[in-house]
């Protein structure tokens, strides 16, 4: 039985909305007006968490009675952070660099209702070797400009060879850990589907 409280996803991401809906959660999506940062002096993990906190705190300030969920996902290859590409040229560049290599997808999550709970989840992703034709097919099939690293694991022609860790984290929200954290706020939801 779920506690009756308003839950807000501080995001405009349809992927995050789909993931939360898969838990049977009743929530509102309220995009944050916070400006995300592109780098952090400490680490990529800190960057993802910092941006998640910015989003959650912005929305929580406007909706203090709600449980607010903020998240930020970044792709890291050889120490370099890959955010959302600015244009098709940068998207192609990112996909070429990711081709045949292993990288890390990091999501920072911040939950606020009175107190604040934060966590970071990492998933290792191995890309297939991509030809220029593969890259062009992918870009034609997927809107790469609104995705960190210029790709979405759940969309378009298959470009991922394997993952080690949470699949939903690569989509944009680590559901396994989120379910456990929601319980700390008295919110009980169904277990996420396994991939």
DSSP annotation of 149 reads G
Cα separation, 172 vs 48, whole angstroms: 11
End-to-end CA distance of the chain: 26
Among candidate residues 72, 87, 146, 164, the one labeled active-site is 72
Cα separation, 54 vs 51, whole angstroms: 5
Residue keyed to tokens 């030809």? 131
Q: What sign results for the dihedral spanned by CA atoms 23, 20, 2, 178?
A: positive
Say whether 81 sits in a helix, a strand or coil: strand
Cα separation, 133 vs 126, whole angstroms: 19
Least Cα distance to 9 among 193, 195, 190, 187 occurs for 187
In this structure, the number of other CB atoms found within 10 A of the CB of residue 42 comes to: 9
User: Is 72 considered catalytic here?
Assistant: yes
Helix (H) or strand (E) holding 92: helix 88-98
- Annotated catalytic residues are 72
């Amino acid at each position: 039985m779920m506690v009756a409280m308003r839950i807000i996803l501080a995001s405009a991401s349809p992927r995050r909305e789909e993931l939360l809906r898969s838990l049977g959660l009743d929530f509102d999506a309220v995009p944050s007006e916070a400006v995300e940062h592109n780098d952090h002096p400490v680490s990529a993990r800190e960057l993802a968490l910092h941006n998640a906190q910015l989003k959650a705190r912005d929305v929580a300030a406007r909706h203090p009675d709600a449980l607010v969920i903020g998240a930020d996902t970044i792709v890291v290859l050889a120490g370099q952070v890959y955010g959302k590409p600015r244009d098709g040229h940068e998207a192609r560049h990112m996909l070429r660099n990711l081709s045949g290599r292993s990288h890390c997808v990091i999501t920072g999550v911040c939950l606020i209702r009175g107190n604040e709970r934060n966590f970071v989840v990492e998933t290792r992703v191995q890309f297939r070797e991509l030809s220029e034709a593969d890259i062009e097919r992918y870009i034609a099939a997927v809107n790469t400009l609104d995705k960190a690293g210029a790709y979405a694991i759940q969309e378009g022609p298959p470009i991922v060879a394997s993952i080690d860790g949470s699949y939903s984290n690569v989509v944009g929200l680590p559901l396994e850990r989120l379910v456990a954290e929601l319980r700390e706020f008295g919110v009980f939801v169904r277990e996420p589907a396994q991939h």
